[in-house]
A = this chain, B = another copy of it.
Amino acid sequence: MGKYEYKMQRLFLRHVLAEGARIEADRSQANYLMNVLRMKDGDYLLVFNGNHGEWLAKISSGSRRDCALQVMERTREQTEHNDLIYLFAPLKHARLDYMVQKAVEMGVGSLQPVMTQHTQSSRINLERMEANVIEAAEQCGILSIPEVIGPQSLKDVLAEWPQMHPDRRLLFCDEAEGTHNPLLTLAQMKEAGPQPLAVIVGPEGGFSDDERSHLRGLDFVTAIPLGPRILRADTAAVAALTIIQATVGDWR
């Protein structure tokens, strides 16, 4: 992706996109484009809808309250939906926003909040999570919008796993793993051939001892360590996704 595209404003739309289409931005999009970004008639931006690739568009007839976009030409083909499922204990407020944005940047395909014994935040605002997913996709040039799944208890997720996700391996980031390095385990997985993956990152206080031993006893779970230091949950998320994408993921 060129610098040019990186610097252009990118906007997610729920409309069908095709050459020559004229799209009325909704009230909040118009406000964002015309008042926050101070764009003007004739300015260019990139638009995408998660299904039809990325398109160059031009602002036609913008005012302070309304704005229409003229779709010009396709700049990138639609990319495939990412397959990696990211399960995480929700954090509070800004740290959750941040964690969701980072997971999208790192190429997860779906995000599922999981309630654990030490989870501090029990109210999950799925709309806010979706808004963070879209913002990260807009900023980082991701064309396929990851799915946000409603919260479930860890117990239920694990009980239903064999039915819901046959053949999918769950990587469990375990602070208390004996070794510090995940590379050997991941290299062995890579040699065994491709398989669908999920990763689970615990809450700030870590998993409880019961949860850890339950996870470690399940045959679809593989524990991976993340180095010698304690990481905060949002750091552990980026570290885990980096090491997984670099070894058995899409950093080809």
Contacts and interface: CB of A to CB of B under 8 A. Distances in A.
- Range class of the A interface residue count: 35 or more
Contacts of A106: 227, 229, 231, 235, 239
B243 A181 contact: no
User: Copy number in this complex?
Assistant: 2
A230 B242 CA distance: 13
A230 B6 contact: yes
A139 interface: yes
A9 interface: no
Interface in A1-56: 1, 3, 6-7
Contacts of A149: none
Nearest to A139: B232
B181 A251 contact: yes
B245 A227 contact: yes
12 contacts: A6-B205, A6-B230, A101-B232, A106-B235, A181-B246, A183-B246, A227-B251, A238-B238, A239-B242, A242-B242, A242-B243, A243-B246
Given A7-B205, A227-B251, 20 more contacts: A6-B205, A6-B230, A98-B98, A101-B232, A105-B230, A105-B231, A105-B232, A105-B235, A106-B227, A139-B232, A140-B229, A141-B229, A141-B230, A180-B251, A181-B251, A182-B246, A182-B251, A183-B246, A183-B247, A242-B243
